[in-house]
Chains A and B, each alone.
Chain A
Amino acid sequence: MSGHTSSYEPTSRWGKWFDERLPIARLVHGSFVAFPTPRNLNYLWTFGGILMFCLVAQIITGIVLAMHYQPSDTAAFNSIEHIRRDVNYGWMIRNMHAVGASMFFIAVYIHIFRGLYYGSYKAPREVLWILGVIILLVMMATAFLGYTLPWGQMSFWGVTVITNLFSALDTIYQGLGTGIVEWLWGGYSVSGVTLNRFFSLHYLLPFVLTGIVILHVWALHVVGQNNPTGLELKEPSEAVPMHPYATSKDIVGLFAFLLLFAWFVFFMPDYLGHADNYNEANPLVTPPHIVPEWYFLPFYAILRAFTGSFLGIPLGSYAKLLGVIAMFAAIAILAFAPWLDTSRVRSAKYRPLFKWAFWAFAFTCVALGYLGAKPAEGVYVLWAQIFTVLYFAYFLVAMPVLGLIETPKKLPRSINEAVLGPDAAAAAAKH
């Protein structure tokens, strides 16, 4: 899993014997100890490690919860209450898992925005980036499936609404969408059958995710890490060994992140959820506002922006289908970023116009998130439509156009020059 040769030398006889048969210690040493990391990485680069932690933490707490959880429409809600009230430290483990999902998304969104700002998606990191987009998709699917498991009102109606998205395919071929929806449900409505299969898939996907994450890390070790300057490593003195340098920074980042994590776990475990989900699922009563978890809100806003008309353009019977397509396209378009961005400069640090576009895009995402939580009526719909256009404009207009017309700032010649200044860099290069 490494693009460079390992300097690992086993010290003991047994170590040598084992290394000749299974060089796993060599692999770990090469990938996570001696691996050269750019010396100028800032704390935004610690989120890779934080995400690793999140994945492992979710898997461990999830396996523990599965020991007490019962995936049936009559028992699910009660079993969650059993975990909260009676299981030893059940409340803690359950809060860790529920809050952990939100923390995972906070970390992954920061990770993605860091990549967008510093141009980490550009050649030669396209495959690394696309694997990241796939990870995001699988994460979203896992989170969605997981949210159904408590079988509260929001769980139930969230599944109902989101699975019904597929019925939009009826516009293309009559019966196609309905068929898929009933196949997903295993019945003619969301029921205990649906819950049971969602539990099974919710247990499966994190392991799929782990597999893709391994590929993601592998790809990272082939092409090396990007850095705030967006320049490639030119000489050994521009890098430091991952351990103890990057690792010591990663663990500070992780513990700072854990402060936030623990605050929510212990002091406001329900803040990131919905009060309605403490009512058991009732197929006869829909809650007044169905709102997904916060991490889906921007995409939910894009979905709902497609009503009868879009910015004055009548959509007719295609509104629903277009909304669904736009929502999935909003995620899929990330995968095309490496080819949509025409600039040869990676880091937004040296791109005066692109920097503006980036922050406008960040604002757009937050605004869409805000609108996703509001009822889809009146002026909110108009704003959702405007911001949907801005969202896609970032990828389809700003990325290709700015690269062609913008004059980047003068780039430093090397990472060393950026860090040490030109003279010291020249001196370092002589060594």
Chain B
Amino acid sequence: MTSMTRRLVSSFAAAASAVLIVSPVLAAEGDGPEIVRQQWAFSGFRGQFDQAQLQRGFQVYKEVCAACHGLNRVNFRNLVQPGGPGFPEEAVKALAAEWPNQITDGPNDEGKMFERPARLSDPIRGPYRNEKEARAAQNGAYPPDLSLIAKARGVARNPSWWTHPFLMLGDIVKSYQEGGSDYLFALLTGYTDPPADVKVGDGMYYNKAFPGHQLAMPTPLQPDQVAYSDGTKPTVENYAKDVAAFLAWSADPTHDQRKRIGWQVMLYLLVTTALLYLGKKRIWADVKH
């Protein structure tokens, strides 16, 4: 080795070791509150929605969330279909007809738009027609539509750089996709008194899971607020969990079918890959390579 090569090699080695030594510093900072992961019926690659939980979750949505939030990308008919809450069609028809936020239709023969009761094919509308109306009614705050909220929110994790790849690999192997529901559960159960040094703004509430910790939504869930009929305990945790599961379904109504087909595909691919590999060995049997 010439002296120049040695210098090059040692500079690469130096760079590599510098990374190893200094980088823990990178891990120190974080940019979002840590969210605790929950066990869900639909967790991981084997999980499927729990129909009873989705039904309870819809009840919570209807009796609590729907006062401010819409669910516009979910239609009443979706509440009937398999893989979802699976309510009986007649019950959902009645529910749609009584839904307080009616559908604007028309124009009628006089050329005017009119309100009519919802049908199965109509979306589950919230109380506000648009963002401006919502903000006017909510002191400037905007209660977002909840159809996609479980997919539009995630969990911030800030592992150190050397654990990052392993955690990523772990998430891929376990197929962790429930960050949105974990966040929603943490948010709904995250209302606490603010720490002494935090001054909460006017019309704002302190929440330990919300990025920035101050949000305009007051504590939505109280114990015994929704009367469950299946014996589930009427606690805030249960409400939060059920509604978070329901919203996970709202954001991903084909979830159950997806994982079911997924297993068939994986099984098929495993068998075929194995067969093709054996076939390849057979073909190459007398060629040294």
Contacts and interface: CB of A to CB of B under 8 A. Distances in A.
| Chains A and B touch (C-beta atoms under 8 A apart) | yes
A66 interface: no
Contacts of B9: 353, 356
B94 interface: no
A275 B269 contact: no
Best-surrounded residue of B12, B22, B263 (most CB of chain A within 10 A): B12
A390 B15 CA distance: 9
Interface stretch (A12-20, A102-110, A261-269): A261-269
A372 B263 CA distance: 34
B244 interface: no
A240 B276 CA distance: 19
Given A263-B175, A275-B153, A353-B5, A252 B277 contact: yes
B240 interface: no
List of 5 A-B pairs having minimum Cβ-Cβ separation, nearest first: A266-B262, A275-B154, A278-B152, A267-B175, A255-B273
Contacts of B171: 271
Interface string B249-287: 001111000110111011001101100110110011001
A255 B272 contact: yes
Nearest to A377: B29
A270 B31 contact: no
A176 interface: no
A270 B151 contact: yes
Contacts of B2: 405
A40 B289 contact: yes
Interface in B113-172: 147-148, 151-154, 161, 164, 171-172
Contact of B16 (A263, A288, A360, A370): A360
B177 interface: yes
Contacts of A322: none
A265 B265 CA distance: 10
A40 B288 CA distance: 8
Contacts of A255: 269, 272-273, 276
Given A252-B280, A375-B31, 5 more contacts: A95-B258, A249-B280, A251-B276, A255-B276, A275-B151
* Size range of the chain A interface in the assembly: 35 or more
B179 interface: yes
22 contacts: A41-B289, A91-B258, A244-B283, A245-B287, A248-B283, A249-B284, A259-B266, A259-B273, A262-B266, A263-B266, A266-B266, A269-B258, A270-B177, A271-B175, A275-B153, A288-B211, A353-B8, A353-B9, A363-B16, A383-B23, A397-B8, A419-B288
Interface in A364-395: 367, 370, 374-375, 378-380, 383, 386, 390
B19 A367 contact: yes
A63 interface: no
B276 A81 contact: no
Contacts of A363: 16
A85 interface: yes
Nearest to B4: A405
B196 interface: no
Nearest to A84: B254
Given A252-B273, A271-B172, A266 B259 contact: yes
B52 interface: no
Contacts of A95: 258
B198 interface: no
Contact of A278 (B25, B148, B280, B288): B148
A427 interface: no
